[in-house]
Amino acid sequence: MAYRGISAAALVLVLCASCELPTVPSESPAYEPSLFVDFQTRLIYHWPLGRTISIYTGIAGGSADDDLRAAILSAAAGWNRAVYYREFDIRLVNSPLDADVIFHLDVAPPIVDTNSCEGILLGAGGVTYFCVDEGLTAILSLPLAGSSSAQSRVKFDVTISSDPLQVPTRERFFGIVAHEMGHVLGIASHSSDSADLMFTAPSISQPSARDARTLRWLLHQPSDLDL
Ligand SMILES: [Zn+2]
């Protein structure tokens, strides 16, 4: 009988691997994170909870590529610390065919065709580009650039400026990458507080407590756009 008891416990654990995420403590956002389509339409978007988001980095050549990958991993760790339940994970991949998101310097050749639709641009020394369908129901996949007919699953294309006037220091570079990652995760607006990472021109390189609270709130709202 004791053996059966252990089996039952194991069964509960197995079942809970597919449980819904636990209810989160109610929090309010520190600032408005919605996407403003027009004066009347505000949309929330985020990846399905528990999703691993795959990022491919474009090739600019030299140490800049290593810096970009380091900045992405630093940003991912910072945003991961902001949430309680592993609502998302972020990994780097070696092929654009496996990517949900592209990060590249402006001097790197384009990976996706950003002229395929009138996309939405969110910027701050970097630009996050994505396309919403006309019915405002989904964020569309961006076709791969060039003659490739391969199926793309890329939803966001992030361009980071290499202009030293816009990105004067390594810390600022890390901050811009982390800021743009905030847009990729669903924070579509900017904070008006200059102490936040999601301020238009961030002076920090990791999410503030207010950025973290805003993301936690946002991830547990229904997403208006399929991703
Ligand atoms: Zn921004």
Each residue's pLDDT tens digit, 82-118: 998 889 999 999 999 999 999 999 999 999 988 878 7
pLDDT, tens digit, for every residue of 51-71?
Answer: 999 999 988 787 888 999 999
**Given this model, what pLDDT does residue 148 score?**
66
Output the CA 176–ligand 1 centroid distance in Å.
Answer: 8
Residue 226 lies in a domain: no
Residue 110 lies in a domain: yes
Output the CA 202–ligand 1 centroid distance in Å.
Answer: 9
Higher pLDDT, 166 or 156: 156
DSSP state of 106: T
Output the CA 21–ligand 1 centroid distance in Å.
Answer: 29
Output the CA 201–ligand 1 centroid distance in Å.
Answer: 8
Protein residues placing their CB within 5 Å of the ion ligand 1: 122, 124
Output the CA 123–ligand 1 centroid distance in Å.
Answer: 4
DSSP state of 195: T
Residue 224 lies in a domain: no
* DSSP of 27-61: ---SS---EESSSS-EE-B-PPTTEEEEEEE----
Output the CA 4–ligand 1 centroid distance in Å.
Answer: 55
Output the CA 145–ligand 1 centroid distance in Å.
Answer: 24
Output the CA 222–ligand 1 centroid distance in Å.
Answer: 22
Residue 225 lies in a domain: no
Q: What pTM does this model have?
A: 0.87
Number of domains composing the chain: 1
**Given this model, what pLDDT does residue 190 score?**
94
Q: Which domain holds residue 92?
A: 2-219
Task: Name the nearest CA neighbour of 171 among 77, 62, 60, 70.
Answer: 70
Output the CA 147–ligand 1 centroid distance in Å.
Answer: 31
Output the CA 200–ligand 1 centroid distance in Å.
Answer: 6
Output the CA 9–ligand 1 centroid distance in Å.
Answer: 47
pLDDT, tens digit, for every residue of 3-48?
Answer: 444 444 444 444 445 455 555 557 899 999 999 888 888 999 999 9
Residue 227 lies in a domain: no
Q: At 182, which CATH number?
A: 3.40.390.10
Output the CA 13–ligand 1 centroid distance in Å.
Answer: 41
Average pLDDT of every residue of the chain: 87
Count of other CB atoms within 10 angstroms of residue 110:
16
Output the CA 52–ligand 1 centroid distance in Å.
Answer: 22
Q: Are strands 101-105 and 88-92 parallel, antiparallel or unpaired?
A: unpaired
Task: Name the nearest CA neighbour of 185 among 173, 196, 177, 193.
Answer: 177
Output the CA 95–ligand 1 centroid distance in Å.
Answer: 26
Is the backbone of residue 50 left (phi > 0), alpha (psi -120 to 50) or beta? left
